Amino acid sequence: MDRYIETTPERLLGPRLLPPPLLYDGKIQGEDTMRRYNAKIQGEDTMGRHAMKSSIKPLMMSCKLITLCLMVVSTLTLSLNTQAFEDKTADRAIIRQFSESDERYLQQGRARINELTRRHLGSRFQQQQEHDVALLQRLLDEQLVSTQDSRLLQDMGIILGDLLILEFDLRWVIYVDKYGPSRALQLKLTENVLFPITMISRRAEVGLEVDIAALYQQAEKKISAYKAAARRFY
């Protein structure tokens, strides 16, 4: 009788292969069929791998894009927070005490303007409100101080500040903000400041008529308002 011998297929790691054909009397049957089948299976495996790669690639690109977007958002947020913090710090003014060089600057200014009034008007500033205000006005009215001479105009502002100190509880300080340091008068026990050194110069330099007595009265009113507000607060 004819006997059929069935072989056991091996476990292969590569593409799937057609199980070995039946053997009849030791001869392989259907070799062409087996080759065609194996070729078909290999083609399907190759197509499957390509399809898997095609689906994974867009997914990886999407992940990279999402990661990049998150990094950009985080960077912008940090930058805005830092900028906001820096702006707040820059806008916060500080007040520091006068140094020896600051005191020397005021003394030099007083000396210059006193020399000018002595030479041209035969008088000096005496730290008396009525006398000194009138003398400051004469310097402008008689054009002894040019509207372009910022140094002398600011020297006149020093004299104006000295008069305010005599009347109110003020002191010279350095006021520092984002625009830089400025010499100012501070109402003691408060953070309120005035800038008498530039009260005259900033008006004269733009061609405005300067009324020294009116400026002094405006400063008096402002300081009185500061003091009233401080009393309500404390």
DSSP state of 209: -
Q: What was the pLDDT predicted at 4?
A: 34
One domain for residues 128 and 19? no
Please identify, among 57, 75, 92, the residue that sits at the C-terminal boundary of a domain: 92
Dist CA 58 CA 65 (whole Å): 10
pLDDT in tens, 94-127: 999 999 999 999 999 999 999 999 999 999 999 9
Q: What is the mean pLDDT of residues 181-192?
A: 91
Q: Amino acid identity of 11?
A: R
Tokens of 118: 């002595």
Instruction: Give the residue ranges of DSSP H helices in the chain.
Output: 31-91, 100-121, 129-141, 150-167, 201-204, 212-233
Boundary (domain end) residue, out of 53, 73, 92: 92
Looking at the structure, tell me whether residues 51 and 138 fall in a common domain: no
Q: What is the pLDDT of residue 84?
A: 31
Same domain, 21 and 131: no
Q: How far, CA to CA in Å, does 69 sit from each of 55, 65, 78, 82?
A: 22, 6, 14, 20
Position 166 pLDDT exceeds 60: yes
Q: What is the mean pLDDT of the chain?
A: 76
Note whether 4 and 49 are same-domain residues: yes
One domain for residues 6 and 75: yes
**Quick check: 192 and 230 in contact, CB under 8 A?**
yes
Return the higher-pLDDT residue of 78 and 30: 30
Domain interval for residue 3: 1-92
User: How many domains does one find in the chain?
Assistant: 2
Strand pairing report for 193-194 and 180-187: antiparallel
Hey, CA dihedral for 101, 127, 133, 221, is it positive or negative? Answer: positive
Whether residues 112 and 183 share a domain: the answer is yes
> Do both 126 and 61 map to the same domain?
no
Q: What is the mean pLDDT of residues 169-174?
A: 94
Asked whether 163 and 132 are in contact (CB, 8 A), the reply is yes
pLDDT at 61 (0 to 100): 67
- Residue 60's CB: how many other CB atoms inside 10 A? 9
112 and 33 inside one domain: no
- pTM for the whole structure: 0.61
What pLDDT is attached to residue 229? 82
Q: Output the six-digit token pair for 113.
A: 């303007």
> Does the pLDDT at position 49 exceed 80?
no
Of 217 and 59, more confident: 217
Question: What span, in angstroms and rounded, lies between the C-alpha atoms of 130 and 100?
Answer: 30
Is the per-residue pLDDT at 189 higher than 60?
yes
| Judgement on whether residues 15 and 3 belong to the same structural domain of the protein | yes
CA distance 231 to 96: 23
Q: In what order do the strands lie in the sheet with 4-5?
A: 4-5, 23-24, 27-28
